[in-house]
Amino acid sequence: MGKYKVGIVSLGCDKNRVDSEIMLGKFKSDYEITNNPKMADIIIVNTCGFIEKAKQESIDTILEMAEYKNKYNCKLLIATGCLTQRYGKELEELMPEIDIMLGVNDYDRIDKIISNFAAEHKKVIQLNYSDKTINEGERIITTDKETAYIRISEGCDNFCTYCIIPKIRGKFRSRDMESVLKEAKALAQNGVKELILIGQDTSKYGVDLYGEKKLSVLMNELSKIEGLQWIRLMYCYPEEIDEALVKEIASNNKICKYIDLPIQHISNKILKLMGRKTTKEDILGKIDLLRKEIPNVIIRTSLIVGFPGETEEDFKELKDFLKEYKLDKVGVFSYSQEEGTPAAKMDNQLDEETKKQREEELMLVQQKVSYDINKNKIGKVYDVIVEGVKGDHYYGRNFEMAPEIDGNVYFKSSDKLAKGDIIKVEITKTLEYDLMGVVYNESCK
């Protein structure tokens, strides 16, 4: 099967993307890789099973790819990831179109499993799981070459009542620092300039291996790697932020003054029902600390509305928090009642209409906050990493923007620029989430 083409459809989060890139790395030598599933002889769907919308998207995608067996070149359909790990037995019965089904820990043998299937033509269902290992290996980067994600931990010990991830991905475990640094150096040597640190919970990095949190040490070591210019931190729980981490972000020029804090709510009652290990007072204290010690820090968060028992008073408290604290980047999600979680069995479940209404209302609040924040950026100059061209404008991101979720900077330039260039842009106009400007040296002419 060495001449066959392999295509992968990666769904869900950036942790899933890393898994997909590791899988592609397995095919680098003996297979041809295509980003067009219509051309692929082997199609892999790396699924997400986190919330209902993601599950439905995964199922729809598998069914769509199954049709490629009749319409195009597909001879072998593989499903992997969180949905298969969570619902493998059900999918085996409901979706006979799947030839090979793997869980979240079986990627290291995917090339051998395919070879065995080619020889024996027997369906493979392999959903083994270990919460002691972490998927690692040579990757084929699917982001723009100047940006890459790097997983520093796997699993989660928080057991929030709404979340199924610990049951899918297992207990929290850190990658050893040497492994992370080795991979980061290889990425930098291949042209990566922006490194984004991810895990289900990055803030606890090192506790299991070294007996104490080592995230600040890891970030310092990463900043010493030649070629890396931006280091971005995601999924950092507020209750685990310590003084060492704050100081490292504040003092290290390579670390983006940007931090992702998954808060989810601000009402103490709802936080307790969610099983969060923090309080409103602690969250507000951490936000104040970050803003005091890291001038102009960008804080991103995610919020859940419509959690069981959320009253109008709780929701108003959340709205007032956004209006007062004016967080820079906010994602809002309606609560999804996920089977197998404690929250799914709670009383006072809210109807979908109420959840959707609150989601839209909160996003309108944040839209105004974001626009007001952006208006104050007119005349400021930012380093921007170039990502492409749309019409007569280049577009890219500054340190305030993570890929795909935080907007873009659009700007004009009389010079021809290449993807991955980092140039200075003066902001001349703002929108709710995007910025517009001109290359700085041209604005001075």
Is 444 labelled as part of a ligand binding site?
no
Collapsing DSSP to helix, strand or coil, 33 comes out as strand
Do 411 and 393 touch, CB atoms closer than 8 A? yes
Distance separating alpha carbons of residues 100 and 52, to the nearest angstrom = 23
Residue 251 in tokens: 């003092």
pLDDT for the residue 442: 53
Half-sphere exposure for 98 (CA within 13 Å, toward CB): 28
C-alpha triplet 426, 427, 429: angle, nearest 5°: 150
Per-residue buried b or exposed e for 237-267, using 16+ beta carbons within 10 Å of the residue's own CB: bbebbeebbbebbeebeebbbbbbbbbbbbb
Of 157, 154, 158, the C-alpha closest to 278 is 158
E strand residue ranges, 306-445: 329-334, 381-390, 393-397, 409-412, 422-430, 435-439
Is 82 labelled as part of a ligand binding site?
yes
Distance separating alpha carbons of residues 167 and 169, to the nearest angstrom = 6
Is 74 labelled as part of a ligand binding site?
no
Is 236 labelled as part of a ligand binding site?
no
Do 445 and 437 touch, CB atoms closer than 8 A? no
Do 46 and 14 touch, CB atoms closer than 8 A? no
With tokens 């980061």, the residue in question is 184
pTM assigned to the model:
0.90
Q: Give all domains of the chain, ordered by start, each with its CATH number.
A: 5-126 (3.40.50.12160), 147-374 (3.80.30.20), 380-439 (2.40.50.140)
Per-residue pLDDT of the chain (445 residues; tens, 9 = 90+): 447 888 898 988 888 888 888 888 888 778 888 888 898 889 999 998 877 888 888 888 988 898 888 888 888 999 998 888 888 888 888 888 899 888 887 777 888 888 888 777 788 787 877 777 777 778 888 877 889 999 999 989 989 999 988 888 889 999 999 999 999 999 999 999 999 999 999 999 999 999 999 999 999 999 999 999 999 999 999 999 999 999 999 999 999 999 999 999 999 999 999 999 999 999 999 999 999 999 899 999 999 999 999 999 999 999 999 999 999 999 999 999 988 899 999 999 999 999 999 999 999 999 999 999 999 999 999 999 998 888 888 999 999 999 888 889 999 888 888 888 899 999 999 988 999 998 887 544 4
Distance separating alpha carbons of residues 241 and 429, to the nearest angstrom = 35
